[in-house]
């Protein structure tokens, strides 16, 4: 017979205390998310049977995962799950964990597509990562043609898994490529969207441990000013867009002015506008091909 010495409540309290000592934010939430993952249950089940007995193997597994969180690994990587646009997304260390700010980017594109009521819109997501942007668009703005490209094959595997997880019926084409290198000039998209890397190289060290020690640097860093990838997108997107097509890019706090003047100077875009995120920070630039 298996000896059942531990119950979920005891183990959660033990983890909360360890997290508090290590200054891990939201200790209870972290401990509970890891517990329900170990038990292969939903969070609600935890409240229904709060003192559920655990086997020694389950308890050891829980404690091992708690140790990973103590080493500052984000809980999303530990449990392999996060939520974006109210949809479930699988994540691992090869992809950036989707951020709530990026939901604003998706909503803008979604509104644009739905307002124009055009089907078969060709939508391209550059640097798709976990696929959060393109999968959400396929879900909420259906009947278009979707493409996600990424330089990382490991990231694309995650993106494909997320398309399946969200039961996307309209196929998304995923391509392994560095930016636009895979296209001929004849490719004309109606929408190009991107949440590119935009952190200054010198700022990387100042980021919280969870990010700098665990999230993929390739998805974060973009040169001295953090603008390398954004400039690349502004320099090249228009060549692959039809007239009036939309380009939408997310950027960081403090980058708005230089990105806007860069886009104006390029001379290829019109209706250049900025959208704020939910905290009131300038976060997205939108423009249309002349
Ligand atoms: N598109 C993904 C996201 O928005 C990945 C972005 C990236 O890797 N820079 O989270």
Residue in this structure with the two tokens 């055009």, named with its chain if needed: 118
**pLDDT bracket for residue 3 (50, 70, 90):** low
Distance CA 275, CA 126 (A): 19
Structural domain ending residue among the three candidates 42, 71, 100: 71
Q: Provide the domain limits for residue 148.
A: 92-289
Distance CA 269, CA 26 (A): 44
Radius of gyration of the chain (CA): 21
3-state DSSP of the chain:
CCCCCEEHHHHHHHHHHHHHHCCCCCHHHHHHHHHHHHHCCCHHHHHHCCCCEECHHHHHHHHHHHHHHHCCCCHHHHHCEEEECCEEEECCCCCCCCCCHHHHHHHHHHHHHHHHCCCCCEEEEECCCCCHHHHHHHHHCCCCEEEEEECCHHHHHHHHHHHHHCCCCCCEEEEECCHHHHCCCCCCEEEEEECCCCECHHHHHHCCHHHHHHCCHHHCECCCCCCHHHHHHHHHHHHHEEEEEEEEEECCCCCHHHHHHHHHHHCCEEEEEEEECCCCCEEEEEEEEC
More confident residue, 213 or 2: 213
Structural domain ending residue among the three candidates 18, 39, 71: 71
Instruction: Take atom 10 of ligand 1 and give the residue whose Cα is closest.
Output: 98
Q: What is the mean pLDDT of residues 46-65?
A: 84
Residue 189 belongs to a domain with what CATH number? 3.40.50.150
Residues 59 and 187 in one domain: no
Instruction: Take atom 2 of ligand 1 and give the residue whose Cα is closest.
Output: 129
Report pLDDT for 162: 98
- Is 60 exceeded by the pLDDT of residue 4? no
Q: Has residue 79 been placed in a domain?
A: no
Ligand 1 centroid distance, CA of 219 (Å): 7
Q: Has residue 225 been placed in a domain?
A: yes
Listed in sequence order, the residues at least 6 apart from 23 whose beta carbon sits closer than 8 Å to its beta carbon are none
Instruction: Take atom 8 of ligand 1 and give the residue whose Cα is closest.
Output: 219
Residue 60 belongs to a domain with what CATH number? 1.10.8
Residues 42 and 100 in one domain: no
Which of 106, 109, 271, 274 is closest to 190 using CA atoms? 109
Report pLDDT for 214: 93
Residues 126 and 193 in one domain: yes
Ligand 1 centroid distance, CA of 141 (Å): 19
Q: What is the mean pLDDT of residues 7-28?
A: 94
Number of domains within the chain: 2
Summarised one tens digit per residue, pLDDT across range 71-102 is 999 999 999 999 999 999 999 999 999 999 99
Ligand 1 centroid distance, CA of 55 (Å): 39
Instruction: Take atom 7 of ligand 1 and give the residue whose Cα is closest.
Output: 219
Look up residue 284 and give its two tokens: 């997205």
Residues 184 and 67 in one domain: no
Contact by Cβ (8 Å): 286, 248: yes
Report pLDDT for 53: 80
Q: What is the mean pLDDT of residues 28-34?
A: 95
Contact by Cβ (8 Å): 148, 159: yes
Distance CA 160, CA 148 (A): 10
Q: Has residue 134 been placed in a domain?
A: yes
Instruction: Take atom 4 of ligand 1 and give the residue whose Cα is closest.
Output: 195
Q: Which of 131, 133, 222 to mutate for ligand 1's pocket (most ligand atoms within 8 Å of CB)?
A: 133
- Ligand 1: residues within 6 Å at CB? 96, 98, 102, 127-130, 132-133, 195-197, 219
Q: Has residue 1 been placed in a domain?
A: no
Report pLDDT for 12: 94
Residues 212 and 141 in one domain: yes
What mean pLDDT is reported for the chain? 92
Residues 50 and 186 in one domain: no
Q: What atom in ligand 1 is closest to the CA of residue 98?
A: 10
Instruction: Take atom 5 of ligand 1 and give the residue whose Cα is closest.
Output: 129
Ligand 1 centroid distance, CA of 153 (Å): 14
Q: Which of 92, 97, 98 to mutate for ligand 1's pocket (most ligand atoms within 8 Å of CB)?
A: 98
Residues 113 and 219 in one domain: yes
Q: What atom in ligand 1 is closest to the CA of residue 97?
A: 10
Q: Has residue 84 been placed in a domain?
A: no
Summarised one tens digit per residue, pLDDT across range 229-245 is 999 999 999 999 999 99
Residues 66 and 97 in one domain: no
Ligand 1 centroid distance, CA of 148 (Å): 11
Residues 132 and 64 in one domain: no
Residues 128 and 25 in one domain: no
Residues 150 and 203 in one domain: yes
Summarised one tens digit per residue, pLDDT across range 118-155 is 668 999 999 999 999 999 999 999 889 999 999 999 99
């Amino acid at each position: 017979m298996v000896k059942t010495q531990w119950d979920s409540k005891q183990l959660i309290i033990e983890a909360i205390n360890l997290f508090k000592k290590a200054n891990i934010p939201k200790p209870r939430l972290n401990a509970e998310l890891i517990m329900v993952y170990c038990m292969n249950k939903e969070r609600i089940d935890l409240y229904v049977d709060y003192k559920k007995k655990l086997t020694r193997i389950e308890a050891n597994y829980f404690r091992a995962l708690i140790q990973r969180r103590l080493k500052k690994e984000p809980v999303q990587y530990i449990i392999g799950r996060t939520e974006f646009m109210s949809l479930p997304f699988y994540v691992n260390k090869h992809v950036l964990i989707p951020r709530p700010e990026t939901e604003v980017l998706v909503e803008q594109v979604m509104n644009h597509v739905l307002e124009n009521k055009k089907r078969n819109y060709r939508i391209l997501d550059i640097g798709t990562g976990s696929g959060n942007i393109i999968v959400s668009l396929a879900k909420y703005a259906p009947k278009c043609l979707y493409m996600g490209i990424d330089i990382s094959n490991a990231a694309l595997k995650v993106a494909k898994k997320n398309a399946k997880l969200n039961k996307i019926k309209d196929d998304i084409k995923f391509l392994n490529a560095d930016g636009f290198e895979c296209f001929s000039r004849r490719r004309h998209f109606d929408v190009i969207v991107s949440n590119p890397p935009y952190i200054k190289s010198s700022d990387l060290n100042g980021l919280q441990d969870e990010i700098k020690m665990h999230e993929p640097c390739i998805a974060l860093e973009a040169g001295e000013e953090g603008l390398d990838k954004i400039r690349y997108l502004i320099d090249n997107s228009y060549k692959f867009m039809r007239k009036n097509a939309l380009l939408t890019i997310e950027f960081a706090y403090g980058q708005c002015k230089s990105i806007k003047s860069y886009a104006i100077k390029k001379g290829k875009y019109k209706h250049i506008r900025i959208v704020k995120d939910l905290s009131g920070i300038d976060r997205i630039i939108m423009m249309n091909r002349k």
